[in-house]
Amino acid sequence: MTGGAGVQGFERLPARVFDFTSGSRRDLYFAILHVFNDANERLETALLLEQVHDRLPGTGFTEPAEEPEVEAALRHLESIGLLESAQSYTAAYATAAEFERKNVQYTLTARGEAEFAGVRLVLERLKERGALQTAVLDAVADRLDGLHALMGADDPAQDSRVFTTLQELEGHLDSLRDNTKRFNNELQRLLRSGGADLDTFHEVKRATVGYLDAFVDNLEERARGIADALARVEGHGAEGRGVEGMLERALAGANLPPSATDRVREDWLAARRTKWSGLRLWFAPTEDGQEGVRRLHEVARRAIGSLLEALERITESRRRASSTAEDLRAAARWCAGAETTENAHRLWQALTGLSPARHAVLGHTDDELIAPGTAWAAADPVPVSANLRSSGRSGRVARTARVRDVGETARLRRERARAQRAEVERALGRLATDGPVRLSAFGDMEHDLFEHLLALLGQALSESVRDDGTRRALTSDGRMEIVLVPPPDRGEATLRTPRGVFSGPDYVVSISVPGGAGPRPERGLE
Amino acid sequence: MSGHVPVRNANRGVSQARDEMALGIQAMLASPLLVRERDEAAFTAVRRRRTELTAWFDYFCGWTLTVEPRQGYARLAKVRAADSHVAVPRPALRVRGSGAPFDRRRYTLFFLVAAELTVLSRTTVGLLAQRVAHTCAVEEGVPEFDSSVRAERAALVDALLLLEDYGALTSVDGSTESYIAGADAMVLYKADPARLARLLNAPVPPSRLGGAHPDLSELLAEERYGPRVDGAGTDGPEPGGGPNTAGGPGGGQDPGEGRDSGSGPTRNQRLLLARHSLMRRLLDDPVVYTADLSAGEAEYANTLTGRGLLRRAAREAGFRLEERAEGYLLVDVRGRTTDDVFPGEGNVKQTALLLLDVLLAAAEPLSLTSLTGEVEGLLERKPSWARSYRGEGGASQLTAAALGVLVGHGLARQEQGPERERGPADGPRYRALPAAHRYAVDRADFGQAGSGETGSGQKEQSQEGGQA
């Protein structure tokens, strides 16, 4: 947790610490330490037995304690290192025995002081209630601003103020963290507890919700203010020395006693850095916003939700009589407790009435033929489809015909079209000539090919004759060109196909693919 | 304009109104919580005829119909006494998967979730589960809810889906079923407090009764029929001929009349109860046997008015009424008002038809063991039939399911008496009820006619799930 730079290893408590808080005489021990502590606060460092004895009632310790008993207690405390004793020469003694007994002065050791402080802290903590204080947030922002201002003026005389401001800042941060921690704990306990006393519980929860609401409202804005101030303080790093510089000035201002070694100073600085990083953890913006604040926010918001829910439950249980929810819950309880599933069905039907009706579906075509009051056994049976008996399938209702898959048909058609197209192209390709040839050169040819040729010829013949006496035509898709030159002689061309014979003027034709890109496979002519 | 409506149009108007009434009645009977999104046409009919429908249900059955046109739902508060053996409880069914009936856990979670939702208008599945877990921990007698167990999550999801089905809960974002895969699923919900409040419709609020186990008759006690006499009028020493001799038909309200033991119901209240309970049975149950009727109901059904009302109700609701010596039943030819169709498709119902023949042929009740034997025989004779029941215990499963169908349709009943005397080894005994004769045939039976048929696989199996 304390990942600060200066802290090494795990901190250990001295053995048998807080021993005085156990055992039958622990109250007396505590009272005695109380006495010493009070004395310490008045800068009275050493106490005699009778002084201790006299002051015991002042601590609120009311049990009667005789001097010997107190003395035994003092000796015990001395034995566990909480007290030290020394001879005193200032008191008046009547006898040697008295001198022996009464001249001993007791002083609190450092350890005694620490243990007493620890116990005190425990007691305080136990009494404290967590609180979310927006004022603390304001104070944190104020101190940061203060630091910023102090660092602006690089004045060594202000070092002590840097120190105090920093200390205050740390104090506020601690208080914020402690309070939040504690508050959160209490909150969780509040959320968990069903609450025996509904009214109080109700009040507490409602108050808590209001409190959280107000807190959440303020949190965002204040946190942003703090983040800005934090950035300003750290921003001094650009021209000055930033946080490190500030810490060094604080160290200078802290006026550590001359006994402090470098090691102590380094530890001091490390402790400050840890605190500072704690501050950053709470308020410095990260990628997901301000980490600590965001978590606080979340806790608060979730708590509001859960509390409201709990409140709802309470309110609900109050208007028990008319509540739908309560009815439904009772229904659920009954269903859970039903002995059989059958019973649960019955319950469902009774509770909701949501079950559909059930009726016969087969009737006589003419029911007037059977007189009312005839016994069922005597009346004709209703016609039942023989199929239902024999195959378990109804003869009346035929299965829906399978819907044709239109997509499949479309695909088939597309494919057929593509095939056709390819066929035509191949045919036309075979018609192409390498130059002008006589029509008669085509000779015998397939019928399909002939039809294509005929179509081309027809197209060409329908064109008007050009100046050079040729006719030219392009197929409609522009892929083939036919040039027709009137026959130089009166020759007659005869083309044979499996289906018949064609004869006509023996034109000179040249069929070509304009771009030359078309397929030019095997020719249809010899 | 309106003065000039041709006669034919006026007739059309009348018949349209009649059709709409019938449609509305049937729709409400089929789904007591009718949601607009589920059946727009039916809801429109109910909305348009809401005044007449409300009066109709109140007059015939004493059921309250609430129509909320703006919120898109109508609720028929069906109340049924739980005393008819024909009225096998029809359970809530899972929306998911094969539509199996709810179990106790699912019912419990359904109500718990609904309770939580009454105070939450918007929530997520995770929060809901958390609150349910919390309530489970607090409520006495309710097992704890552990959202890390898959089965528990599945149960919760079923409860949620049913609520969604009723429109009491809407998932705004995400799908409820994803919660089964893991408790960290994100589904955002919006609850409808009005519909939640309408889920329960027992005459007496459950929370007023309290306790760990409900007393159904107390839960279903309705004030309008006056104080309850024990035995609900079934017992003999009722005033009997008293009203006829003293009050006569014109008596109207004579409070002194019906009070034989302190403060019983008045004559009018008893008549009202007889009419309502008779109609409730007729409109809700597959068959109404005279033998099952209470004295009051039977008496009412035998009067001219009673008979007339039965016919009128059936006609107006668009049913055919079958009046037979042993009782009555409504025929819904379109099958709109029934949760289950019999005779129907699938191995179970086929078996049910066959067992019906067996039961009818027998002179006295047959034991479950012998009925199972019949089914075993069938399975042996037809090797490719009913494949899903071929495994260990398949025959008894199939028998139980088929008997469940028959009992559920009021065609057979489990005998109470002799089973104890004969000892548990023989199992319960079943007897065909009179209406079973409706489906009796003397045509070629299954064994011969359907020899070429193959089993009808899992599909029917899943339809049958609800009957198991």
Q: Quick check: B107 and A353 CB within 8 A? A: no
Q: Is A379 on the interface with B (CB under 8 A)?
A: yes
Yes or no, beta carbons of A356 and B30 under 8 Å apart: yes
Question: What is the mean predicted confidence (pLDDT) over B157-165?
Answer: 94
- Residues B29, B50: Cα–Cα separation, whole Å: 14
Q: List Cβ neighbours of A109 (8 Å cut-off, separation of 6 or more).
A: A81, A82, A83, A84
CA distances from B314 to A299, A366, A382, A517 (A): 64, 16, 19, 83
Assigned token pair, A350: 């009774």
* Averaged pLDDT, B271-276: 90
> Measured between CB atoms, which of B118, B284, B345 is closest to A357?
B284
Mean pLDDT, rounded, for B423-440: 79
Helices B368-381, B347-361: axis angle to 10 degrees equals 120
SS3 state of residue A446: coil
Q: Is the pLDDT score of B235 beyond 50? A: no
How far is the alpha carbon of A6 from chain B, nearest alpha carbon, in Å? 44
Q: What is the mean pLDDT of residues B4-19?
A: 75
Burial group, residue A484, by CB count within 10 angstroms (0-12, 13-18, 19+): buried
**Phi and psi of A46, rounded to 5°?**
-125, 140
Residues 6 or more apart whose Cβ sits within 8 Å of residue A38: A55, A58, A59
pLDDT tens for each residue of chain A, 526 residues long: 444 444 456 878 888 888 888 888 888 888 898 899 888 888 887 888 888 888 888 888 888 888 888 888 888 888 888 888 887 666 566 666 666 666 788 888 888 888 888 888 888 877 777 677 777 888 888 888 888 888 777 777 778 888 888 888 888 888 888 877 777 777 777 666 655 456 666 677 777 777 777 777 777 778 888 888 888 887 765 554 577 878 888 888 877 777 777 888 888 888 888 888 888 888 877 766 666 777 777 777 777 777 777 666 666 555 543 578 888 988 999 999 888 888 899 889 888 989 889 998 888 877 777 888 888 888 888 888 777 777 766 544 444 555 556 777 788 888 888 888 787 777 777 777 777 888 888 778 888 788 888 888 888 888 888 877 788 887 766 677 888 888 777 778 888 888 888 888 888 888 877 655 444 444 444 3
The whole-angstrom distance between B382's CA and the closest CA on chain A is: 11
| SS3 call for A198 | helix
Cα–Cα distance measured from residue B83 to residue B68, given in angstroms and rounded to the nearest whole number: 32
Q: Which of A309, A358, A370 to mutate to test the interface with B (most CBs of B within 10 A)?
A: A358
Q: Give the list of residues 6+ apart from residue A387 with CB closer than 8 angstroms, or none.
A: A393, A394, A395
Higher pLDDT, B403 or A178: B403
- Reply yes or no: is the peptide bond before residue B343 cis, omega within 30 of 0: yes
Q: What is the DSSP letter of A374?
A: B
Q: Which of A327, A348, A381 is the closest to B439 by Cβ?
A: A381
What is the DSSP secondary structure assignment for residue B188, as one 8-state letter? E
Cα gap B249→B267, rounded to integer Å: 11
* Longest pairwise C-alpha distance within chain B: 78
Show the DSSP H helices in A1-102 as ranges. Answer: 26-41, 49-55, 67-79, 96-102
Helix axes A110-127, A26-41, angle to 10 degrees: 110
Q: Scan residues 274-333 of A and list those with Cβ closer than 8 Å to B.
A: 309, 312, 316, 320-333
pLDDT of residue A12: 81
**Strand, coil or helix: A476:** coil
Q: Contact at 8 Å (CB) between B189 and B122?
A: yes
- B388, B461 Cβ separation under 8 angstroms: yes
| Min distance B257 CA to chain A CA atoms (Å) | 31
Q: Position of tokens 């005190």?
A: A120
Q: What are phi and psi of B99, to 5 degrees?
A: 70, 35
State ipTM: 0.83
Collapsed DSSP state (helix, strand, coil) of residue B110: helix
CB under 8 Å to B81, separation ≥6 — which residues? B217, B220, B232, B277, B280
CB of A400 within 8 Å of a chain B CB? The answer is no
CA distance A365 to chain B (A): 10
Q: How far is CA A461 from CA A225, A288, A432, in A?
A: 94, 83, 18
User: Which residues of chain A are within 8 Å of residue B202 when distances are taken between CB atoms?
Assistant: 350-353
Interchain CB distance below 8 Å, B200 and A320: no
Min Cα distance A356 → chain B (Å) is 5
Q: How many CB atoms lie within 10 A of CB B44?
A: 16
Rounded distance between C-alpha atoms, residue A380 and residue B439, angstroms: 9
